[in-house]
Amino acid sequence: MNVWFRDLAMGARFAVTGGREGWVRTVLTAVGVGLGVALLLVTTAVPNAIGARDKREDARTDLRFSVTQMPKADDTVVVAMADTEFRGTSIRGRLMQPEGDKAPLPPGISAYPKPGEMVVSPALARLLGAEDSALLRDRLDARIVGTIGEAGLTGPAELMYIKGVAGLHPTGYPVERIDHFGNAPEPEPLDPILLLLTLIVVIVLLMPVAVFIATAVRFGGERRDRRLAALRLIGADGRMVRRIAAGEAASGALLGLLVGAGVFLVVRQAASKLELMGISVFPQDIDPAPALVAVVAFAVPAAAVAVTLFALRGVVIEPLGVVRTAKPSRRRLWWRLVLPLAGLALLYPMLGQGNENGEFNQYMVTAGVVLILVGVTALIPWLVEAVVTRLGSGPVAWQLAVRRLQLSSGTAARLVNGIAVAVAGAIALQMLFAGIEGDYTKATGEDTERAQMTVNVPASTETSTLTAQLQQALAKTPGVASVTPPLTSAGVGEKPHDANEGASFTSGSCAALREVAKLPSCKDGDVFAVRGASYDDSTDKLAKPGTTLYVDPGYDKVKGAAVPFKVPAGLKDARPRELPTGGDRGGFLVTPSALSEAAGATMSGDLYLKLDPSNPDASDEVRTAAAQFGPLINSHSMVAMERVGRFDSIRTGLFVGATCVLLLIGASLLVSQLEQLRERRKLLSALVAFGTRRRTLSASVLWQTAVPVALGLALATAVGLTLGAVLLKMTAQTVAVDWASVLAMAGVGAGVVLVVTFLSLPPLMRLMRPEGLRTE
Amino acid sequence: MSTQTAPAGSLLTAHDLRKAYGPTAALDGAHFSIHPGEVVAVMGPSGSGKSTLLHCLAGIVTPDSGTITYNGRELSAMSDGERSALRRSEFGFVFQFGQLVPELSCVENVALPLRLNGTKRKEAERAALHWMERLEVDDLAKKRPGEVSGGQGQRVAVARSLVTGPRVLFADEPTGALDSLNGERVMQLLTEAARSTNAAVVLVTHEARVAAYSDREIVVRDGKSRDMEPAL
């Protein structure tokens, strides 16, 4: 055992001694491993970060989603939702009116702001202080008296305000009375397909990192082999040199762990200043689970040692130098094919499972996808070797490249492994995303041609006056092209309480009513019944002249205004029309003269706005103008399509992760490339000495990279398409290939290699200087 | 005899060459001349500047000052591309080690300078085989450098240096990594082949035994050169 320790320690010493060359090699390994470790730690911290965000979000939940309101007490507070948007970014807004000394405080604040005051998140404070935020300052014009603490925010970049108000009446969502915060509903379980998607995203992102770490620990391999040969010369036997190599690899990896921990801490600290796709996290939230940290801390050095010993398996280190058999044995295909085939076999039982048959077996999915992707790394060396041995001679640059590939295709294959795995995974995921996108993207029905915004005025005795005034004000607001005449609406039933039949009750001028129905003719005093609207079979039953209906009837424990309305004898028929907000509306249309004041007081108001597309601030102008008429007036920007939030966040996660992974792999490629060039410094100088053009050598380096990259990407594309097809079959989707995105993925991979080759040209030029010939 | 004035009919001459690497002066006023078909040995202890002199003469390194004239043309007036072309077509090189491309077979290595000059592969390899025969290594044509001995590899390198029919052959310690028997054979073949083509040979060595193959010897010490008096 002592011998073991002695040899391992000697290896560790070699990792940090040996002058500049030794240090450079160790630093490269440590940086390479460190970047991989940092990415692993960040990835393993993501679930905790999301969990911490969700926990704080749950703790501040203030909506009860209940139809009944609790009685006023000294431990209650009335909360109104007053969210808004500024330049496309959401701002969480709450109006709060504590009703007693014991009113619960929301997380993150120590006292309620008084009416006319507000507390804001640090990010919102900065935004309000910005020079070009005048529109937002006009909208949120209360005096800032404090800052919302971290406990009340999901992330450091969240925009949020809590404003003190008086005179709020809890009428149900969005104005409610509560006696505590944190009444979060049970989260919905993640849809099986989304869970599958998440799993694949994580595997696809982590696999290239693992490949990258395996490459990083092989940096400086040739030089190490020569050093080991020198040790053989002075009496070390074969086993000893392997132990020494293991010690050297392990210490490089351990140093890498330290670098990784350092990079992780820096990234963690910097995270508070970053916001990606609307998500920001507090540094303390990026907290990987201890078990996962332990796995990384153990697995990385262990993998480093395993990879080193594996790499030494075909090398005989003799006292007079390193001997590699002149003709290495041909790579065998069968066991390389076993990996992806075993992966496919694991996924096979889940084909056609879809969304309806419960969850996918996570272990089988993980193992299957990992095996298929590992299969790529196993197949590439075979493919590169099989192809390059058949490549013939061409120009000198081509010949130099091909011969080098024929002699050591393994090195070249290792270079592209990471890229190939990333591309294969990305193609499969892209196919899966494209296939299931339809299920998670739905048309909102909103007609953005007819209107781009709606403004809603909550029901009150002043609704119609307020809506009319608002219409006039908005018509003059910069960026507004037109505003429809005001419409007000409520529900109507045949009984004052617990009506069996219910329909819409809409009021407005003839012009306004034409926005929601096709009217045969119209004059003030007319009342229409809109028959044949979707999901409406009540209008026919209610639209009987002489019948008394009740506007705003009560239901269950909720008391309504129940204002009587007699269906007039001259009731006209109208046909439904698609609304700007989607769908259509049946029920009754009432012109102003036919509407009683009492009924009008129960109705909420709506305005539809067309905006001037040339004014980028138009929607913010509208929100600010509308806010002057009351904090509960809701301005909504219309969109034609919307996606399920979780689908979007998985896609965002993939994008962010893929960018990090590609940068990492690009960096590793560059380091490996430079190292290979440095190893050949003397030869390059000799070639230049006898007149080889530099462009010939540059072209040979390019060919030497391009050939394995092209082969690797071709294989990656084939495997990616197969995996994508299998995943689509598993989700019971039609298999379709979006060739544009496949080409884009392969193109990105090729682009990374081209950039790396381009970046390695200046050092190549330097290495070709005659100084390389000097031996003294 | 001083070498300050170049003898008439010189193919390659250098005058008052100075070259420093950082604070260290590698050449400090060196002179040199060589005639066609002449073998000149450049001798001197390690670090004396003899390899730097060879690199300057071959246009690999640009001297800080001084002039080098090849066949009436000033080397320092040539661009890097022109000097490279000169090295490809008029000069040949043999180094101590690290000169054969390990991925190429021996015949491909020998054919490489011709191919760099645009000669077709088959033609270049035919010429390469001819020179390999003359250097007695034609049986190694298909082998890679890693599969042949040091002496054989060096003979392959000599064949490569002669394949373009150079007018000047630069040999930097060509036998430095060989045993005496192999070294002798390489020198014998190198000088015979050079003389048969009337090529001048600049032979950098610190071994008197190797220098004995030359027609004339110069010694470089502390960056200065001087002709060695012939032994009486």
Where is average pLDDT lowest: A18-27, A407-416, A446-455, A468-477? A18-27
Task: Give the residues across from A572 on adjacent strands.
Answer: A528
Cα–Cα distance between A378 and A375 in angstroms, integer? 5
**CB–CB of A347/A730 below 8 Å?**
yes
Please name the residue that has the structure tokens 């209008």.
A539
- Determine the length of chain B: 232
Nearest by CB: A689 against B60, B96, B108: B60
Sequence-separated (6 or more) residues with CB below 8 Å from residue A666: A752, A755, A756
Question: A658 or A380: which carries more pLDDT confidence?
Answer: A380
pLDDT at B126: 95
Return the DSSP state at B6: P
State the pTM of this model: 0.64
Which of A262-271, A688-697, B10-19 is least confident? A688-697
Per-residue pLDDT averaged across A732-739, rounded?
A: 81
Give the chain B residue nearest A686 (alpha carbons): B99
Q: Which residues on A lie below 8 Å from B108 (Cβ)?
A: 399, 403
pLDDT tier, A220 (very low <50, low <70, confident <90, very high otherwise): low
Q: Which residues contact A659 (CB under 8 A, 6 or more apart)?
A: none
A772 — pLDDT class (breaks 50, 70, 90): low
Beta-carbon-side half-sphere exposure of residue A702 (alpha carbons within 13 Å): 14
pLDDT of residue A224: 73
CA distances (Å), origin A679, targets A21, A218, A667, A685: 11, 14, 19, 12
Q: Which residues of A touch B78 (CB under 8 A)?
A: none
- The confidence score (pLDDT) of residue A767 equals 79
B93 vs A693: CB contact, 8 Å cut-off?
A: no
- Between chains, do B84 and A326 touch, taking CB under 8 Å as contact? no
Take residue A9 and report the two structure tokens written for it.
């320690």
The terminus-to-terminus CA distance of chain A in angstroms comes to: 43
How far, in Å, CA of A161 to CA of A143, rounded? 11
Q: How far is CA B112 from CA A14, B124, B161, B166, in A?
A: 39, 8, 10, 14
Strand A84-86, strand A117-120: pairing: unpaired
Contacts of B160 (CB under 8 A, 6+ apart): A690, B92, B100, B109, B110, B112, B113, B128, B131
Contact A690 B46 (CB under 8 A): no
In tens, the pLDDT along A107-134 reads: 999 999 999 999 999 999 999 999 989 9
Q: Which of A323, A396, A407, A684 to mutate to test the interface with B (most CBs of B within 10 A)?
A: A396
Q: Is the pLDDT of residue B230 over 60?
A: no
Instruction: Tell me the HSE value of A434 on the side-chain side, using a 13 A CA sphere.
Output: 18
What is the distance between the alpha carbons of residues A57 and A279, in angstroms, rounded to a whole number?
13
What's residue A355's pLDDT?
66
Answer for the pair A279, A45: CB distance below 8 angstroms, yes or no.
no
B163 pLDDT higher than 70:
yes
Q: Tell me the β-bridge partners of B39.
A: B201
> B95 and A399 in contact by Cβ < 8 A?
no
Angstrom distance (rounded) from CA B57 to CA B41: 14
Q: Could you tell me the pLDDT band of residue B4, with boundaries at 50, 70 and 90?
A: very low
Residue B14 host element (H or E):
strand B12-21
Does residue A415 or residue A387 have the better pLDDT? A387
pLDDT at residue B65 tops 90: yes
Which residue carries 């000052």 as its tokens?
Answer: B65
Residues in chain B within 8 Å Cβ distance of A399: 104, 108, 115
Dump pLDDT digits (tens) for B68-100: 999 989 998 888 788 888 888 899 988 876 578
Q: Kindly provide the ipTM of the predicted complex, given to two decimals.
A: 0.71
CB contact under 8 A, A689 and B121: no
Q: Indicate if the pLDDT at residue A325 is higher than 60.
A: no
Residue B194 has pLDDT above 50, yes or no: yes
Q: What is the pLDDT of residue B232?
A: 46
d(CA A396, nearest CA chain B) in Å: 7
Q: Does A396 touch chain B (CB under 8 A)?
A: yes
How do residues A73-89 score in pLDDT, each as one tens digit? 999 999 998 899 898 88
Burial class (CB in 10 A: 0-12, 13-18, 19+), B9: exposed
Q: How far is A22 from chain B (nearest CA, A)?
A: 22
Q: pLDDT, tens digit, for every residue of A593-619?
A: 888 888 888 888 999 998 898 998 999
pLDDT score at A434: 78
By the 10 Å C-beta count (0-12 exposed, 13-18 middle, 19+ buried), A614 is classed as exposed
Residue B166 has pLDDT above 60, yes or no: yes
> In the numeric block, which tokens belong to residue A94?
């709450």
Please report the pLDDT score of residue A624 as a whole number. 92
Q: Is the pLDDT assigned to residue A260 strictly greater than 50?
A: yes
Q: How far is CA B226 from the centre of its chain?
A: 19
Query: Quick one: which of A717, A712, A699, A719 has its CA closest to A669?
Result: A712
Bigger pLDDT: B212 vs A579: B212
**Residue B163: alpha-carbon gap to chain centroid:** 13
Subunit contact B116:A396, Cβ cutoff 8 A: yes
Binned at pLDDT 50, 70 and 90, residue B42 comes out as very high
Residue A546 phi, psi dihedral angles, 5° rounding: 95, -20
Q: Is the pLDDT of residue A284 over 60?
A: yes
* Cβ within 8 Å, pair A682-B89: no
d(CA A113, CA A38) in angstroms, rounded, equals 42
Separation between Cα atoms, residue A529 and residue A576, nearest integer Å? 10
How far is the C-alpha of A621 from the C-alpha of A455, rounded, in Å?
12
Q: What is the pLDDT of residue A144?
A: 94
- pLDDT above 80 for A436: no
> What are the structural domains of chain B?
12-224 (3.40.50.300)
For A186-190, A360-364, A542-546, A581-585, which range has the lowest pLDDT when averaged over its residues? A186-190
Q: Is A323 in the B-facing interface, judged by CB distances under 8 Å?
A: no
Which of A134, A53, A114, A124 has the alpha carbon at shortest distance from A83?
A124
Rounded to the nearest integer, the mean pLDDT of chain A is 82
Q: Which residue has the tokens 């507004």?
A: A480
